[in-house]
Structure formats: C-alpha cells, structure tokens
C-alpha cells in the first residue's frame, strides 16, 4: 500500500517513518504527478505560510483540493491542518478551504509555549493519546458535519474529522503511537478493480 506525504517542507520524514512501521510506503509528493494513483495524502506540520507558497509554486493546490473533493483521504497535522481549513483568522496563508473548520494560528503562544497533553480519544480505547503541540493552531469553528475526535481538558477541539478528511492541531508523527496513522489508513477509499 502507498499513500502520499506532501514533502515540500516540514516533518514529512517522521510521517513516512511511522507509515513504514505499519507496512505502508509514504510516497514523497513534490509535484502534481506524484499524486497520481494516491488514495490519500498527509500534509505535515511545519510552517503553513511556507507550505502554502510552495504548494502554489508547484501547482499542488488544485490537485490536492480535487483529491479531497473526490473522497480521497487527506490528513493535515498542525500547519497541515491550517492548510485544510475553510478559513483562518489571519490573512496569510490562504488555506485550501477543503474542510469546514475555522482555525487560528499560533493560538497557544510562541515556540516556548509548546506543550504536551494526554488526550482521551473514544475510538482509540482506554489508553490516552499523547498530544505534542508545537506553536499549535486552535480550531475556532467546527462545521455541523465535522466530528470532534479529541479536545483539550478546557474543551478546545484539537482533532476533527469530516468524512474522508482528518485534521489534528498536534503532531502524532512525533510520537511512537501509530493509532492516528492507522485511523487515517482506514479512511482510504477501497480501490476499484
Ligand atoms: N505555527 C505554525 C504555522 O502557523 C505551525 C506549527 C507546526 O506545524 N508545528 O504554520
């Protein structure tokens, strides 16, 4: 099995390593043709303004948007989540608008205010998921067709899903816990004959 991992900037190598542990090839996506035959794409964490510029430069915005609309699985972590949002509270970057959420960048403060938090996620069972938040964005609006998978103790949503689309404000790729990656693989469309 193969899934795409956007590899223009950010921590794509960590995603690819976790996928490898699950027996899945994470194919580095830098150009639109790398998306061909991909049933899913991970947009990693990094710097959303840079991600956005490079996606425009390499002509990736339109094909990634099309993938999401075609029911393929797309998952954004942190900066990747910012890119998936319908709207953000800042002017930069211009998000892809593929998921019905509103996002506020750097909502928890600067790099020094990064934090870790165990998250209870019902569909993952009893063991909490260790959330690593690095200059994390907040989800400030959740559309009516969007499910909240995890929230902070104060109630702020930090993992959301809308059908084939998944977004996390934190970085599951920076842990040894592959449950989010396995969950994402479960969203891939069943290949047609
Ligand atoms: N703060 C970054 C941004 O706005 C995201 C940080 C991250 O992906 N860890 O793009």
CB 77 within 8 A of CB 68: no
Average pLDDT of the residues of the chain = 96
Ligand 1 center–CA 136 separation, angstroms: 6
**How much of the chain exceeds pLDDT 90, in percent?**
94
Which atom in ligand 1 lies closest to the alpha carbon of residue 171?
A: 9
Q: What is the rounded average pLDDT of the residues 152-157? A: 96
pLDDT above 80 for 187: yes
Q: What is the pLDDT of residues 34-64, one digit of tens each?
A: 999 999 999 999 999 999 999 999 999 999 9
Q: Taking residues 2-9, report their average pLDDT.
A: 97
172 Cβ below 6 A of ligand 1:
no
Q: DSSP characters for 89-151? A: SSSSS-----EEEEEETTTT-SGGG-EEEEE--GGG-SSPEEEEESS--EEEEE-TT-EEEEE
pLDDT band at residue 110 under the 50/70/90 scheme? confident
pTM comes to 0.97
Over 90: is that where the pLDDT of 69 sits? yes
* Residue located nearest, by CA, to atom 1 of ligand 1: 135
- Which of 11, 82, 107, 112 has most ligand 1 atoms within 8 Å of CB, for mutation? 82
C-alpha of residue 10 to centroid of ligand 1, in Å? 9
Which ligand 1 atom is nearest residue 51's CA? 10
Q: Which two tokens stand for residue 176?
A: 């040894």
Tokens of 141: 């609006």
Q: How confident is the model at residue 112 (pLDDT cuts 50, 70, 90)?
A: confident
């Amino acid at each position: 099995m193969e899934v795409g991992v956007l590899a223009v900037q950010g921590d794509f190598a960590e995603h690819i390593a976790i996928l490898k542990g699950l027996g899945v090839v994470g194919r580095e996506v830098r150009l639109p043709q790398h998306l061909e035959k991909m049933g899913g794409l991970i947009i990693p964490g990094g710097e959303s303004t840079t991600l956005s510029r490079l996606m425009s430069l390499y002509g990736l915005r339109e094909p990634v948007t099309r993938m999401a609309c075609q029911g393929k699985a797309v998952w954004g972590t942190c900066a990747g989540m910012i890119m998936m949002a319908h709207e953000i509270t800042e002017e930069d970057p211009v998000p892809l608008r593929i998921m019905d959420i509103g996002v506020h960048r750097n909502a928890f403060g600067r790099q020094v205010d990064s934090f870790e938090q165990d998250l209870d996620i019902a569909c993952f069972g009893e063991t909490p998921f260790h959330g690593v938040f690095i200059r994390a964005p907040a989800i400030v609006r959740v559309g009516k067709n969007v499910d909240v998978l995890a929230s902070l103790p104060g109630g702020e949503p930090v993992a959301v899903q809308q059908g084939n689309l998944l977004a996390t404000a934190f970085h599951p790729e920076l842990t040894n816990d592959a449950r989010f990656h396995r969950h994402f693989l479960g969203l891939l469309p069943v290949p047609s004959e």
